[in-house]
Amino acid sequence: MTDDRDRLSAPDGSGGLSRRDRAVLAFERASWAGPGTKERAIREELAITPTRYYQLLNALLDDPRALAHDPVTVNRLRRVRESQRSLR
């Protein structure tokens, strides 16, 4: 399993985000037929568990570098997260 060292590795001109962080954001932009399809693709394409994926994604929503990299996706997911929190 991958660890946070990948996240801390030197970025390649992407505004400070690691390759994995950018892949997680790109993955979230895609449209999925259903939850099983997405979770299988997370395991196959990103080589991490769905649980780890959502942990990374949630952390990215609070990262200003992620907001700068993909403001549409990050703001959309922040709104979804906030609406889910308000339902609790």
Residue ranges per domain, the chain? 15-87
Residue 22: other Cβ atoms inside 10 A: 18
- Among all chains, which residue has been given the structure tokens 């990103």? 46
Q: In this predicted structure, what is the pLDDT of residue 31?
A: 87
Structure tokens at 55: 């942990």
Backbone angle region of 10, left / alpha / beta, with phi > 0 → left and psi within -120 to 50 → alpha: beta
Question: How does pLDDT run across 10-42, given as a tens digit for each residue?
Answer: 445 556 899 999 999 999 999 888 779 999 999
CB burial class (10 A; 0-12, 13-18, 19+) of residue 21?
buried
Q: Is the dihedral of CA 77, 81, 82, 86 positive or negative?
A: positive
Q: What is the pTM of this model?
A: 0.78
